[in-house]
Every structure is written in structure tokens, then in C-alpha cells.
Amino acid sequence: MIDIRDKWALVTGASRGVGFRVARALSKNGANVILHSRKLEGTAALYEELKSEGSVVKQVEGELGDPLALQNIITEVSKLASAGLDILYNNAAIMTAYRNIYEVTVDEYMQSFMVNCVAPAKLCDAFLPGMLKKNFGRIVNVTSGIADQPQLMAYSCSKAALDRYVRDMLPTLDKTNVLMNLMDPGWLSTDLGGDKAPNHPDTVLPGALVPVLLEQSDGSGKLYCAQDYREDIK
């Protein structure tokens, strides 16, 4: 396990669910965390909590479905982490409505691809070169184990495209200490997962931190399933 004290981390979608828990855990492990959600109010409570503990914590807001807002986020984060971002946790995502099969709309595909694949990809594109330059970085792209649900095709296709981004980026990371991996939280009772989900959101830890704390020799391109690391059912 690596030491992430004083490393600069961006967690997208840190206002609730998985991102909230990951951001708080990174901060407790000593990282300087930049909390993202659509509005600053979304992360205000966590910001105050972490700040009151003496942690270095910042906030950034922006709609990931809007290219201009995305560029603003990149500019803001680059200023906040002026020596370069060390940890990029691409967590935020949307899941559009459960549709009758064949009725997923063009707009739902476009929105899902923008928020769930294009935005995380462009955040990687923005911060990977700086990580490679200093030969340190940990990128976690949050994916999903969703399968055989064509009613949620916009969501699942956008996650599959993100998986492919990771796979095809791997040759550029070979022999470097910049690692890019995927994390599947499992089906959780968050706002996105809904109340039928069998797993409490807290069960995403400690597994969700595993791909951040990897040693260089652990490499890139793997899928880490957070539920595999649950301490309560071992």
C-alpha cells in the first residue's frame, strides 16, 4: 500500500453515495482532496467536516454533461493542485430512466455518454500528461457490473465505452508509476442504485480505496470489485 499523505486528489460526484465515502476516506488517509459535485452546496457539509479536522480540502462545481463546465472544472482543479493532480477518482455518473426495451432515447444515450464516458475521459486526458511527467498517478474510473438490462442500455453502453478507454490507454502507461484501473462498487442503495439494492453504500469501503493504494508493481487495467473486500462478511 502506498502513502497518499499530501497527494492531491479529485473525486467527482463527492456529494453523496460512493464519491462522498471515497472522498472522506482519501482525506482521512491524509490526501488533499478536491470535492466535486454540480453545485458547491452539494459538498459543503463534507467540506466543513474535513476542514474542521485540519485536512486540506477544496471544492469545485460543474455539470459534467456540459463541455464548457467540464473545461472550467479542469482549469479550476489545475489551479488548486498547482503541482499537478496525483489521484483522479472518476466517480460521478448518471443513470437515465428504466425504459421499455427499444425505447431508450437519443438524448439519453448522448447524456449518458457525455457524463459517464466523455467527461471522465477528458479528465484523464487533462491530468495524465502531468502525472506521467512526474511519474506518479493513480486514476480510478468507476464502472458497473450491470448486465442483461437493455432497458438501461444508455448507462451500460456508456460504462462499456469507459472500460474501453482504460483498456486502450494501457500501452501509454507501461512501465510507469501512473496506474489506471476500474472499480465496480457493487449494487448499492444510493440515489443511483435505488432502494432495492442489497448492499448499503458504506460497503463500498474499504474496497473502493484499493485501486488508489496500489503499488506500481500492481499495474493497470484491472477491475477491482469493492464488494470483494467487505470486512463484515469475511
| Radius of gyration over every alpha carbon of the chain, rounded to an integer in angstroms | 17
Residues 224, 205: Cα–Cα separation, whole Å: 12
Residue listed under C-alpha cell 500528461: 129
Residues between 126 and 145 with contacts to ligand NAP, criterion CB under 6 A: 142, 144
Q: Which of 9, 10, 18, 88 binds ligand NAP (CB under 6 A)?
A: 18
Residues 26, 140: Cα–Cα separation, whole Å: 13
Nearer to ligand NAP, 124 or 136 (CB): 124
Q: Which of 59, 190, 203, 220 binds ligand NAP (CB under 6 A)?
A: 190
Span of 27-35, 51-59, 61-69, 209-217 interacting with ligand NAP by CB under 6 A: 61-69
Query: Three cell numbers at 169?
Result: 490507454
C-alpha distances (whole Å) from 183 to each of 25, 44, 55, 57, 166 are 15, 26, 25, 23, 11
Supply the minimum distance, in Å, between the C-beta of residue 196 and ligand NAP.
10
Contact between 120 and ligand NAP per CB under 6 A: no
Map residues 166-185 to x or -, x wherever contact with ligand NAP holds by CB under 6 A.
------------------xx
Residue of 125, 90, 86 lying closest to 8 (CA atoms)? 86
Span of 32-40, 169-177, 213-221, 225-233 interacting with ligand NAP by CB under 6 A: 32-40
Span of 89-97, 132-140, 210-218, 225-233 interacting with ligand NAP by CB under 6 A: 89-97
Span of 75-83, 98-106, 186-194, 216-224 interacting with ligand NAP by CB under 6 A: 186-194
Nearer to ligand NAP, 136 or 144 (CB): 144
Contact between 35 and ligand NAP per CB under 6 A: no
Span of 47-55, 91-99, 206-214, 219-227 interacting with ligand NAP by CB under 6 A: 91-99
Nearer to ligand NAP, 98 or 172 (CB): 98
* Residue 220: exposure state from Cβ atoms within 10 A (0-12, 13-18, ≥19): buried
- Farthest-apart Cα atoms in the chain, separation: 51
Ordered alpha helix ranges (H), the chain: 17-28, 40-52, 67-80, 106-113, 119-134, 153-173
Beta-strand relationship, 178-184 and 137-142: parallel
Would you tell me which residues interact with ligand NAP (CB under 6 A)? 13-19, 37-39, 42, 63-65, 91-94, 115, 142, 144, 184-185, 187-188, 190-193, 197
